[in-house]
Amino acid sequence: MQLSVVILAAGQGKRMNSDLPKVLQPLAGEPLLKHVISAARALNPNDIYVVYGHGGAQVQAALAQEPVEWVLQADQLGTGHAVMQAMCLIPDDHAVLVLYGDVPLISAASLAKLIAAAGENALAILSVNLDEARGYGRIVRNADGQVVAIVEHKDASPEQLEIREVNSGLMAAPAGPLREWLLGLGRDNTQREYFLTDVVAGAARTGTRIEAIRAANALEVAGVNDKIQLSAVEAGYRRLRAEELMLAGATLADPTRIEIRGDVQVGRDVFIDINAVLIGNVHLGAGVKVGPNCVISNSQIGEGTELFANCVIDRAIIAQNCCIGPFARLRPGTVMHREVHIGNFVEVKNTEIGAGSKANHLTYLGDSFLGKKVNVGAGSITCNYDGVNKWPTFIEDGAFIGSGTMMVAPVRIGAGSNTGAGSTIVSNTPNDKLTFARSQQTTKEHWKRPVKLNEEEKAAIVAKKTQKPKD
């Protein structure tokens, strides 16, 4: 059977106390709704319909790249009414899966079971057992254990409030019968809304089989209505992702203090210290060590490489057995070959560094090409920007850059050459030679160290030196 997915995302989310629509609240750096769309896409449906309302322009703009169809719910008349808005676009021979934009951790595996349970003739709902069921609709079964209704918390009797099996709101059904059940909904409830859950009673009246499939855990169906619930879901997501990394072979110093905001792949015996943040597509080769407080974004790090504390790695490719940091920043376009050393307070941008090269202290390398076994001394800078254009610097194999060298690009430093400390290099240097550029050193014989002045003396000097010239 072909599949259409309907995601309800029209709610305002007043309890969020935020100008951002509820479904755009961030979970692991991505909107709640994007997580739900990703779960739906994993099922390879024919279509995904997102029913939007409050903050619709914001929602559509934020997720403009997602392959979904947008359906407006102009009047907020309940979840049943929201599904009705999409049903006119769905053929009768499709199965319909209904998801919620504020239930972000649902797994594709549980959804596949739900769809399979619905088949061609049944209504399948996803349930979960909760110790604290306040606010959830209770699943009511008859003496034979068959589901006959779902009663909202506000409308439940004292006996029904004792039921611990609750409705997650997620369901699957054949499109034709679902359309009929929706048309039969009424608003005879305390909120005067069309509740999607009431289709269960409609299905029961027609003798349709109702299947309640229990979710693997409560976290999968946890909804987000305020910042406290958002925090709880974030913690649950963090735990799930940390467990994935540990099962793949990583050791985490503290699984509760790691942020994973993307697709992270790890090799065997990776070690990740506390407070690491991994964003986007990140690959850590076998034996990689990540020190505390590192941020790694969309980067590849080769086997045996070690990142010391407080490094920021963004869209970089790092080969095997390199040493980075502490307090190093690798910006987009950085490519490092084997056994490169980048030390404390070194920044690298759009630069390729050959095997065995080093820049261990207080250096900036931008738009550069370093050969093998280059040594860049402390405080050296490639002056790559003239205020309008970026220019390259080429440092060939075996060159030694003296401390405090300013290399004014475009320029080439020859193979095996040295630059003298404190030099400003503006022209190409020959191979295997020492090149330096310094002004003549001068000593002032009668110079005296300045003395501390009082405020009146300072003011007099300032006034004298800053007075406007006479016309």
Task: Write out the catalytic residue numbers.
Answer: 361
Give 172's contacts (C-beta < 8 A, 6+ positions apart): 95, 96, 97, 98, 111, 114, 115, 117, 118, 123, 124
Whole-number Cα distances in Å, 66 to 47, 275, 424: 12, 31, 51
Contact 199, 181 (CB under 8 A): yes
Pairing of strands 434-435, 411-413: unpaired
Contact 125, 182 (CB under 8 A): no
| Chain position carrying tokens 């604290």 | 132
Helix (H) / strand (E) element for 375: namely strand 375-376
- List for the chain the helix, strand, coil content (%; round to 5): 20, 30, 45
The residue ranges of DSSP E strands in 32-144, in sequence order, are 47-52, 69-72, 94-100, 122-129, 138-141
Contact 274, 254 (CB under 8 A): yes
Torsion, CA 306, CA 310, CA 313, CA 314, rounded to 10 = 170
